[in-house]
Amino acid sequence: MFLSEVMIKMNFPHVWYKWILEYVTTASTSVLVNGSPTDVFNFERELRQGDHLSSFLFLLAAKGLNVMMNVMMGNDIFTGYKVGEQASLSVTHLKFPNDTFLIGEKSWANVRALKNVLLLFEKISILKVNFHKNMLFGINVVGSWLHEAVVVMNCKHGSLPFVYLGLPIGGDPRKLLIWYPLVDHIIGRLFGWKSTNLSLGGELNLLKFMLSSISIYFLSFFKTPLGIISTLDSIFFYLGAGGNLGNCLGLKGTLCLKRENRGLGARRLKEFNLSLPDK
């Protein structure tokens, strides 16, 4: 019924609405026993586990939490994090592919509001909220206060920085420690490179792939310290000099020269990092 109400509020076409309800209320299957199928029985939870449409329907149901957070902010029950010098924008939650970030100022009113809204969403949507998988992070918050809030929320205590979608969140990108996972990842990907079994073109393609596809994710978000730039340049030049590329390169700079200048067209990491949008 909750999914039905969400689709009505979002003005889904009536035909499409009937298809979805028919789909989720008539899910059935049978089991093969010694090669023979049993009688057909209906699913208790209605949705088929692993079905591609299930994730889409879950996102529709999760829209209810979005509405509840907006209502709480509109009624001054929850105070979000204000962004901008004029505090013109207040952020209360961010939705990611597999997670939801709930963001607010440090106050016991916010802690109680978050706990209540999650319990209320659980009741009306019949979607179980696993508080033991939730994590509470504090920025410039006293550890003792944060520990008491974790007890109230019945969740885990998270610490900064943490890695999400491959990026360090809450860390200082000027520190080399933040970049070590990227360096280790690149070295791990290149560890099995058998340069003697690759042609010149194969080595060049692999080198360009490592310079762009893997590192660009980090480079597009953060300004890279010179120490990390030097480390990555040394790794790539060492690998290039150890194979067919080294047979035709006399200097490290030749690797990054344009092809019309008798180079191989590989990117210089420092210039490439600066050319990306402002971090």
pLDDT for the residue 246 = 46
Cis amide bond preceding 277, omega within 30: no
Confidence bin at 241 (pLDDT 50/70/90):
very low
DSSP state of 220: T
- What are 125-150's pLDDT values in tens digits? 877 888 888 889 888 888 889 899 99
Q: Tens digit of pLDDT for each residue in 262-275?
A: 555 666 677 777 77
Give the residue carrying structure tokens 């709930």: 102
**What's the pLDDT score for residue 208?**
65
Q: What is the structure's pLDDT at 255?
A: 59
Instruction: Kindly compute the dihedral angle of the four CA atoms of residues 180, 183, 184, 187, in this order, to the nearest 10 degrees.
Output: -160
29's enclosing H/E stretch is: strand 28-29
Q: Is the pLDDT of residue 187 over 50?
A: yes
Q: Is pLDDT of 240 > 70?
A: no
pLDDT at 254 over 60: no
The pLDDT of residue 111 is: 92
40-61 pLDDT, tens digit each: 877 665 555 566 777 777 778 7
Residue 243 has pLDDT above 50, yes or no: no
Say if residue 215's pLDDT is above 60.
yes
Q: Which residues pair with 90 in a beta bridge?
A: 82
Backbone dihedral angles phi then psi of residue 81, each to the nearest 5 degrees:
-90, 125
Backbone angles phi, psi at 196, to 5 degrees: -70, -20
Q: Give the model's confidence band at 4: pLDDT under 50 very low, under 70 low, under 90 confident, else very high.
A: confident
Kindly provide the residue ranges of all beta strands, DSSP E only, lying in the chain, ordered along the sequence. Answer: 28-29, 32-33, 36-37, 41-42, 81-83, 89-91, 93-95, 100-102, 135-136, 156-157, 162-164, 167-169
Share above pLDDT 90 across residues of the chain, in percent, rounded to a whole number: 7
Is the pLDDT higher at 96 or at 266?
96
What one-letter code names the amino acid at 131? F
